[in-house]
A and B are shown apart, each in its own frame.
Chain A
Amino acid sequence: MKTNRLTLLIKGELLRLHKYNVVFISIFIALIWGVVLFFVDSVIFNALLPFLILVDATMMSLMYIGSVMFFEKKESTLSSVLVTPVTNQEIILSKILANTIHNLFSTSLIIIVFIFIKDVKINYILMLLAIILVTAVFTGLGLLLSYFQKDFTTMLTNLMLLMFAFLLPSALYGFGVLKADVWEYILLLNPIQAAQEIIMGGFRAVTLDWKYYFSLGYLIVGGILTYKFLIVPKFNAYAVSISGV
């Protein structure tokens, strides 16, 4: 894999995120959240900020990569890239890395605003690690999901169902409906729950426990395995199916 070519592809992806207004939308959403959080009291704020960071790094990552993939599908532009010397892995990595950089920027915007206007105590290194890791993993999942969706609307619908399925057990546990201790372990296999654990680790008030380290390892290993055994192998079939030659 040539670093120079990968860099060019990432720059191209970032330029297109800007040209297709995805960057504008993400900044706009970040600002809306900023305004909402500014007016809430400190109890709600403390609960809402981690939740927003989680939503931005998970759901929004899926949506942004989904939109990028569907713009490309609509214009068949992937066909042109397929007949250049770049490899499929370079194409996939460039999308994951560009989306991660973009999402890091929009999430950082939310955090930076609140560092100045609210008293937020953040461990910058752990928060950076959390956002990068969670965004990269969920961008990969979004990429995989987009291979099998007919159009953007179908993808959005399926995304909502998927998020509901992922969030429901955590919510039921949180509300005490699921009471057994075993759920504490089972829920960590839920990637959103694991993402939440490591995002919470970025707040100074939170003590890092085994759940944090498990979630960190789970997302890293799970992300690599998903990339190697699903995202890359399925990409070729997807690329051929949408190639308008």
Chain B
Amino acid sequence: MFKVENLKFKYANNNEDVIRGINFEIKEGEIFGFLGPSGAGKSTTQKIIIKILEDYRGNIFYQGKNLKDYTNEFYEDIGVSFEMPIHFSKMTAMENINFFLKLYKNNADVESLMKRVGLWEHKDELVGTYSKGMKIRLNLVRALLNNPKMLFLDEPTNGLDPTNAMILKDMIREFRAAGGTVFITSHIMADIDQLCDRVAFIVNGEIKEIDSPRNLKIRYGKSVVMVEYQENGETVKKEFLKQEIGKNKEFLEILTTKEIETIHSGETTLEDIFIKVTGVKLADEN
């Protein structure tokens, strides 16, 4: 659906490129995640592929046609949800929605969208009186107003409570299930892990790795069994590879001779893999 080739970008007031020759492809019907710390180039890349920033080098193709050859009609195809709630605060939710709705040729069913995010009962309230969670849910409604083929979501669950985050994630999955394509930028590992079919790790304007979360875990991760047991009055912690653990003599000896306190298996998280691949901690950067 989108093909990005050797994309480079420099802001007018910067000496160096902030995007340094990245290549990736977003396939139709997938949820593609861009994972990286603040300042890595996630939002800049998104600004470029939604045609807000235009002075880039390299090529971007949307549906096989150069993005630069598209007029503003391109926006009939896409929906964008920004990280921060962006609404006219002194207007009601419906006044906000109706203003944007009429700008598109293709209109979604607003009532069902508003009901799906739990805002229908609050549709006539001023957006300025909404909580942050409500405003972010309204962001997603605004992005879906034109029945887009593709959604761009910038940090979609940032600052949301678990219930609101769950509603949003369910809606993103439903959108994909209905044939839509999604591009998500996030620094929240759990979102990427739970939602994305493929993920790109981006640091300092460069993509370090692209693959599905599952493949990344297989490639970089390891399955282990962790055991805590008592020895000489102290708690000792040991880790064993899960593979052929039944033949591991040390593990079997601990099980039969020691007083076991805890025992559980563990998988390498996407965050561990991100750190391993990029050498950068996501949390430290935020």
Which residues of chain B have a CB within 8 Å of any CB of chain A? 43, 46-47, 50, 52-54, 72-76, 78, 80, 82-84, 86-91, 95, 99-100, 102-105, 142, 154
Contacts and interface: CB of A to CB of B under 8 A. Distances in A.
Interface stretch (A14-22, A110-118, A152-160): A14-22
A243 B103 contact: no
Contacts of B105: 85
Contacts of B83: 244-245
Contacts of B47: 240, 243, 245
A80 B101 CA distance: 12
A86 B100 CA distance: 10
B99 to A, nearest CB: 5
B86 A79 contact: yes
Interface string A60-93: 0000000000000001110110111111000000
Contacts of A16: 88, 90-91
B92 to A, nearest CB: 9
Contact of B76 (A20, A76, A85): A85
A80 B100 contact: yes
Contacts of A77: 86-88
Nearest to B102: A8
A17 B195 CA distance: 41
A82 B100 CA distance: 11
Nearest first, the 10 closest Cβ-Cβ pairs linking A and B are A83-B80, A84-B103, A19-B90, A85-B75, A12-B99, A85-B72, A76-B86, A8-B102, A80-B86, A245-B47
Contacts of A244: 82-84, 86
A87 B72 CA distance: 6
A77 B46 CA distance: 18
Contacts of A245: 43, 46-47, 50, 52, 80, 82-83, 154
A211 interface: no
Nearest to B88: A77
Given A76-B82, A83-B52, A85-B72, A15 B95 contact: yes
A82 B76 CA distance: 12
Contacts of B99: 8, 12, 15
Contacts of A239: 52
B88 A85 contact: no
B90 A20 contact: yes
13 contacts: A9-B103, A15-B91, A15-B95, A19-B90, A75-B88, A76-B86, A79-B82, A80-B87, A84-B75, A84-B100, A85-B76, A239-B52, A240-B52
Contacts of B74: 85
B104 A85 contact: yes
A82 B86 CA distance: 12
A15 B154 CA distance: 29
Contacts of B91: 15-16, 19
Contacts of B86: 75-77, 79-80, 244
B154 A75 contact: no
B275 to A, nearest CB: 27
Interface in A1-44: 5, 8-9, 12, 15-16, 19-20
Contact of B50 (A12, A19, A75, A83): A83
Contacts of B53: 240
A86 to B, nearest CB: 6
A19 B88 contact: yes
A84 B99 CA distance: 11
Given A15-B95, A83-B75, A236-B54, 11 more contacts: A12-B99, A16-B90, A75-B86, A80-B82, A80-B86, A84-B75, A85-B76, A240-B47, A243-B47, A244-B82, A245-B83
A48 to B, nearest CB: 34
Contacts of A76: 82, 84, 86
Contacts of A19: 88, 90-91, 95
B82 to A, nearest CB: 6
